[in-house]
């Protein structure tokens, strides 16, 4: 399935990507550098180390659960739990404690 509104771009600063790869995986390093290059308002990333590094570099970050919470608060989805359940079936990983806290905060636990 091809989605027209998503396109992949490589980061321009390969040296910075290589440097960041000392701390995070290549994909996260590319995403952080591209977000810096674009002066992005927000970087979507779930990896804890990548989130921490991005924040230290001055980026605002949000993960999958944050996107779901925002969608629910804005009325775009009625519940987050069915989506989280589907993500978990497809290999998304999150600690039980964080998941329970997330669902409790949304009134879905």
Q: Pick from 36, 33, 26, 27: which is nearest to 11 by CA?
A: 33
3-state secondary structure 46-59: CCHHHHHHHHHCCC
DSSP summary character for residue 36: H
- Is 28 in a helix, a strand, or coil? helix
Which among 47, 62, 77 is the end of a domain? 62
pLDDT value of position 1: 57
> In this prediction, what percent of the chain has a pLDDT beyond 70?
97
Q: Are residues 48 and 83 in the same domain?
A: no
Q: Does residue 27 belong to any structural domain of this protein?
A: yes
- What pTM, to 2 d.p., does this model score? 0.81
Q: Does residue 24 belong to any structural domain of this protein?
A: yes
Average pLDDT score over residue span 9-38: 94
Which pLDDT band holds residue 4 (cuts at 50, 70, 90)?
confident
What is the residue range of 23's domain? 14-62
Q: Are residues 41 and 72 in the same domain?
A: no
Q: Are residues 72 and 57 in the same domain?
A: no
- The answer for residues whose C-beta is within 8 angstroms of residue 20's C-beta and 6 or more apart is 28, 29, 32, 33, 53
Q: Are residues 30 and 46 in the same domain?
A: yes
């Amino acid at each position: 399935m091809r989605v027209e509104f998503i396109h992949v771009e490589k980061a321009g600063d390969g040296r910075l990507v290589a440097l960041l790869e000392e701390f995070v995986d290549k994909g996260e390093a590319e995403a952080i550098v591209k977000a810096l290059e674009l002066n992005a308002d927000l970087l979507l990333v779930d990896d804890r180390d990548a989130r921490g590094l991005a924040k230290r570099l001055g980026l605002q970050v949000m993960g999958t659960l944050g996107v779901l919470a925002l969608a629910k608060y804005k009325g775009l989805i009625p519940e987050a739990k069915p989506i989280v359940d589907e993500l978990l079936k497809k290999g998304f990983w999150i600690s039980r404690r964080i998941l329970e806290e997330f669902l409790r905060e949304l009134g879905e636990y």
